[in-house]
């Protein structure tokens, strides 16, 4: 999976990426890596340690290792497809190229839904960590108001342009990664293998739901493929950013999860809404807790910014292909950003935050994380199938190394996706299946009217 491979051939009949001359190529290599890393490392690392302790105990570390292996194969799929087809829409475009417009519509809708729902989880986690400094946000109404201020502030930043969003991604990625690494190294002297006993307090059967839960932490590596027409040197930049972002996120996750699990007793972690802040306070006092909470706020703000970019570009790309209402493809006359798609997506996310009122933060977060992950995994699975088809149908778009490994990594990735969806439980899987039915009436209506559908 080296990035130094022969350049794949291009179809001379294909227009160059961004041929419309409308979208602005404002994301360079650094911003692209920051977008991948920032869209992977978000609220999950600050909340999931508690969720894992509650669901599986120390066995959650095994779930993390399995996810790393699975997502290594998936990262190869994303990098190869993103490099071969650097067009807006990412997973939706890949599915459409392989299987036609209905597949593109399904994947585009599910991935858009994943982002809309996931952004609600980020907002919920943000208000929880803000409670360290502003106790008033423990009031659900205050928390809701604060979440709306953050949501619409970042929506405005994204509406101004992709360069502004990219700059926010770079800054917030640095502000989240450095404190996480410092905390991990600081906790090393307090690591105690006794905290691994028992290794599986909930039984070996808890491994499957733990795998599904951890997979939420890796969703986002593929996100750079969605705004591909706004990336400079798209094909090469996308390939490199996927691999480098995956490597950086994996290292951070390894250090944080292992040190926190070894340093903090599982009973103390389980049920904590702020597990990393709890670990910092336990060993280093309230000042350290405050610093970790600030890092969490930066991290969550950064991932929300990145996913607002992605959710609007997915809606724009599907609408541009005739697979969604045309208004979602409208671009702002000054900033060249999909302001309608951005505004609608943020509006729905803001409404979903009302789930905060229905239960504890951790239970609501876990449900949203599993549901959002399941919808994304269906889209990821479609990309794996598309890889198998396209590497045979259009071999000239892939290098020799990509043609050799493509089917192999795609099949492994597909198996991993099935396991992860199965681990989410019947309720989540069934709800995801129902969501897959939602775009069909619109597709039938478009066909009945005889409107052209591309991809």
Per residue in 118-151, pLDDT (tens digit) is 898 888 888 888 888 899 988 888 989 999 999 9
Residue 18 has pLDDT above 50, yes or no: no
Which stretch, 22-26, 202-206, 242-246, has highest mean pLDDT? 242-246
Residue 334 counted as domain residue: yes
In angstroms, the CA 326 to CA 340 distance is 10
Domain with 339 in it: what CATH number?
Answer: 1.20.1740.10
DSSP H helices, 85-131, are 91-99, 101-130
- Which residues, including other chains, have CB under 8 Å from residue 446's CB and lie 6 or more apart? 322, 323, 453
Segment 199-213 shows an average pLDDT of 84
Q: What's the DSSP call for residue 392?
A: H
pLDDT given at position 8:
43
Write down the pTM of the prediction. 0.85
**Residue 16 resides in a domain:** no
Distance CA 329, CA 320 (A): 5
How many folded domains does the chain comprise? 1
List Cα–Cα distances, 50 to 266, 321, 350, 365, 366, in angstroms. Answer: 8, 42, 25, 11, 10
In-domain check, residue 272? yes
Choose from 179-183, 190-194, 210-214 the range with maximum mean pLDDT.
179-183
| Burial of 427 per CB tally in 10 Å (0-12, 13-18, 19+) | exposed
Domain that residue 46 falls in = 29-448
Give domain status of residue 296, yes or no.
yes
State CA 236 to chain mean position distance. Answer: 21
Residue 179 lies in a domain: yes
Burial of 107 (0-12, 13-18, 19+ CB in 10 A): buried
From first CA to last CA, the distance across the chain in angstroms is 27
Is residue 28 packed enough to be buried (19+ CB in 10 Å), middle (13-18) or exposed (0-12)? middle
């Amino acid at each position: 999976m080296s990035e130094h491979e022969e350049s794949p051939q291009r179809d001379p009949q294909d227009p160059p990426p961004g041929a419309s001359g409308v979208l602005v190529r404002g994301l360079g290599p650094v911003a692209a890596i920051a977008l991948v890393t920032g869209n992977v490392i978000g609220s999950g690392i600050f909340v999931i340690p508690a969720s894992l302790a509650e669901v599986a105990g120390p066995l959650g570390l095994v779930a993390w290792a399995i996810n790393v292996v699975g997502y290594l194969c998936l990262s190869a799929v994303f990098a190869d497809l993103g490099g071969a087809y650097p067009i807006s829409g990412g997973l939706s475009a890949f599915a459409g190229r392989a299987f036609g417009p209905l597949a593109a519509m399904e994947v585009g809708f599910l991935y858009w839904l994943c982002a809309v729902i996931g952004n609600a989880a980020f907002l919920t986690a943000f208000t929880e960590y803000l409670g360290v400094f502003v106790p008033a946000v423990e009031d659900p109404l205050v928390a809701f108001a604060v979440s709306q201020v953050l949501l619409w502030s970042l929506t405005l930043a994204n509406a101004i342009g992709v360069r502004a969003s990219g700059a926010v991604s770079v800054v917030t990625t640095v502000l989240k990664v450095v404190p996480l690494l410092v905390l991990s190294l600081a906790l090393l002297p307090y690591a105690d293998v006794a905290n691994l006993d028992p290794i599986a307090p909930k039984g070996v059967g808890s491994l499957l739901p733990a795998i599904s839960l951890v997979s939420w932490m890796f969703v986002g590596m593929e996100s750079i493929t969605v705004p591909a027409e706004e990336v400079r040197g798209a094909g090469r930049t996308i390939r490199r950013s996927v691999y480098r972002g995956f490597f950086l996120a994996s290292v951070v996750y390894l250090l944080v999860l292992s040190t926190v699990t070894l340093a903090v007793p599982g009973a103390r972690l389980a049920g904590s809404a702020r597990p990393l802040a709890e670990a910092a306070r336990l060993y280093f006092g309230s000042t350290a807790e405050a610093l970790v909470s600030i890092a969490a706020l930066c991290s969550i703000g950064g991932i929300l910014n990145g996913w607002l970019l992605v959710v609007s570009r997915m809606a724009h790309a599907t609408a541009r292909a005739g697979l969604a209402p045309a208004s979602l493809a409208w671009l702002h006359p000054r900033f060249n950003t999909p302001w309608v798609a951005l505004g609608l997506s943020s509006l729905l996310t803001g409404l979903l935050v009302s789930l905060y009122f229905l239960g504890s933060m951790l239970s609501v977060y876990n449900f949203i994380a599993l549901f959002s992950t399941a919808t994304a995994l269906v889209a990821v699975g479609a990309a794996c199938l598309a890889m198998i088809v396209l590497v045979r149908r259009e071999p000239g778009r892939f290098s020799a190394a990509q043609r050799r490994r493509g089917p192999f990594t795609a099949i492994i990735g597909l198996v991993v996706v099935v396991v992860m969806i199965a681990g989410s439980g019947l309720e989540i899987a069934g709800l995801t299946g129902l969501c897959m039915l939602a775009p069909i009436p619109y597709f039938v209506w478009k066909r009945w009217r005889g409107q052209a559908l591309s991809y």
